[in-house]
Amino acid sequence: MKIVFMGTPAFAVPCLQMLVEEGYNVVAVLTQPDRPQGRKKTLTPSPVKEAALSLGLPVLQPERLRRGEAVEELAAYEPELIITAAYGQILPKAVLDLPVRGCVNVHGSLLPKYRGGAPIQRSVINGEKMTGVTLMYMAEGLDTGDMISKVEVPIDEADTAGTLFEKLSLAGRDLLKSEMQRLVAGPVPAIPQDDSEATYAPNLKREDERIDWNAGSRDIYNRIRGLVPFSGVFTLWNEETFKVWAAANPSNTPGSTYKSTNAVPGTVLALNEQGILVKTGDGVLVLTSVQPAGKKAMSASDFARGGSMKPGMVLV
């Protein structure tokens, strides 16, 4: 059976590697075009492209899969089953109709919860305790297709989006592996989603990265770990961007003596070996890894020793 795989980030790589290792006939791989990264804006291939090339597979990188020439190029491979994992583009009906065994997606949430492009990050930001992976047939709507199977994955309080991506990536690989024989033989019985229970996880925007110090310590903590190691979060200090890469779990936060202060949220209460203690909407958050504008990321305690930030200054 001819299989086409579509994916882009590292999340999708274990699924692709598993298909090849298990001897399935992957005839082509679609991934997003190379994108500029870093200060030098170097064109960089996606993790899936790198994996596909190392496996000796043909790679297609259409800018828009909806364009007729892209569909024709894909159709030339005569796919009988298409498997996607975080591909990054919505498949048009012309593509959905190509394979006789359908298009199957490995989605990083327990559908119908967290439909959309950022289910993993938003699960962490929202403080969820449980998430998972859903294997589903793709439909024209956004993550609305019938569900084949699911697996649950707990979210630890110390998880970042990065660690959760890795957990779900491996869970997705194992789930897909367990269903591949049925998918090849297909069609597999699938359960319609209950739209009344659907929630959405839209792609992240710049405003999602800014800290609102009026929020509670737990909410800010969740936002930080939900955007690490990708964009991180930021606040403004001396009218410049001040990135925050890690904070102490509020459940274990020292400095309770500061919680009754009348300082406005965002006020720096202390700088010491623990880090930078900042007033929040309901208490104190200890920042443990930061990145001032124009500098590399560093521990907050190292930054504190520099002495440029003082208690009483306000982060906004």
For the annotated binding site for (6S)-5,6,7,8-tetrahydrofolate, the residues are 109-112
* Cis peptide bond N-terminal to 112, omega within 30: yes
Residue positions in the annotated binding site?
109-112
Say if CB 30 and CB 76 are below 8 A apart.
Answer: no
**How do strand 81-85 and strand 103-107 relate by DSSP bridges?**
parallel
For 103, phi then psi, to 5°, come to -115, 125
- DSSP for residue 160: -
Q: Residue 263: name the closest of 281, 287, 241 by CA.
A: 281
- Measured CA to CA, the distance from residue 54 to residue 87 in angstroms comes to 19
Q: How far apart are CA 53 and CA 36, in angstroms?
A: 19
Nearest Cα neighbor of 173 from 52, 32, 16 is 16
Q: Which of 268, 293, 295, 265 is nearest to 281 (CA)?
A: 265
> What is the spatial distance between Cα 290 and Cα 300, in angstroms, rounded to a whole number?
6
